[in-house]
Amino acid sequence: MSALFTRSESAGVLYDAPGPRAKARYRLFGVLSVLAIAALLWYAYDSLASNNQFASALWEPFQYTNVQQRIVDGILNTLKAFALAALFSLVLGALLAAGRLSDHRPLRWAATAFVQFFRAMPLLILMVALYYAFFTKTPLWAVVLGLTLYNGSVQAEIIRTGVNAVPRGQAEAAYAIGLRKSQVMTLILVPQAVRSMLPAIIGQMVVTLKDTSLGYVITYGELLYIGKAIATQSPTSEGFPYIPVVLVISPIYIALCLLLTALAQRIEARGRRGANRRTPTAA
């Protein structure tokens, strides 16, 4: 007799399905949550509208081609800083993770000290220090290097944790057949760890994308800096368009982060399907 369970059958063993009263409570909590969120949104809208923050005059600057082009330039500068920082932080994270997993104690201690220091360092302070010390004429590199040092340290911990999560028997079996540690790492451990750590890696990339907005402090022309410049340099008969700028800039950041999140989910799903195809089924 086969002892295999389907996913739905095994799931029923782990928890009890909610009964009618529990389902009613869940529906009530859902309705109350929706009402609370709707009330909060209405309060925010009413407060802004009462202060004339939705006046048509405040939206006039966005009709000009030069303002629209500045927003596009801000998006491109944000993506440039993000792409460079994401690439460099992955490379740095892989090197630091290798150091943290090394059998050589001095190398392991050095990598650990590096990771702990830059994980604890506030990113804004790091960017400002790099800008005034080295990159006053090229703030892009202060942003990129700051993001690389901080996020590379975080990525190192993600990679190290993913490798350590692979069952110990995998490495022991590889050593038993005569593989060296570098071969065990590259051929056995890392390929298996990628599936588990990939969502966390891309999730940290979302953080990297959002943290590019700190570049506005050191006058790097990313999206937030451009938005602030538009708000302060485009007075109208109703005042400065701070709220319209926020309502334009924020959805752009949200859309970029959602695209990265969707990419992570798609990659994870493809990896899961590939793993299922490679896994033999029991007869």
Q: How far is CA 152 from CA 29, 79, 213, 231, in A?
A: 41, 18, 18, 34
Q: Which two tokens stand for residue 172?
A: 């022991």
Q: What is the pLDDT along the chain (283 residues), one digit of tens a residue?
A: 444 444 444 444 555 677 778 778 888 888 999 999 999 989 988 888 887 777 888 888 888 889 899 999 999 999 999 999 999 999 999 899 888 888 888 998 999 999 999 999 999 999 999 999 999 999 999 999 999 999 999 999 998 888 777 777 766 677 777 777 667 777 677 777 777 788 888 888 999 999 999 999 998 999 999 999 888 887 777 677 888 888 889 999 999 988 888 887 787 777 666 656 655 544 4
**pLDDT score recorded for residue 16:** 67
82, amino acid identity: F
Are 68 and 62 a contacting pair, CB within 8 Å? yes
**C-alpha closest to that of 145 among 92, 200, 79, 213:** 92
Q: Where are the alpha helices (DSSP H) in the chain?
A: 7-14, 20-50, 65-100, 105-120, 123-133, 139-164, 168-176, 181-183, 190-211, 223-233, 242-278
262-279 in b/e burial notation, b at 16+ Cβ within 10 A?
eebeebeeeeeeeeeeee
- What does the domain layout of the chain look like in residue ranges? 65-270
| Burial of residue 196, with CB atoms counted within 10 A of its CB: 0-12 exposed, 13-18 middle, 19 or more buried | middle
Q: How many CA atoms lie within 13 A of 161 on its CB side?
A: 11
- Please provide the CATH number assigned to the domain covering 65-270: 1.10.3720.10
| Cβ within 8 Å of residue 13, ≥6 positions away | 5
* Angle formed by the axes of helices 105-120 and 65-100, nearest 10°: 150
Q: How far is CA 35 from CA 29, 39, 42, 99, in A?
A: 10, 6, 10, 51
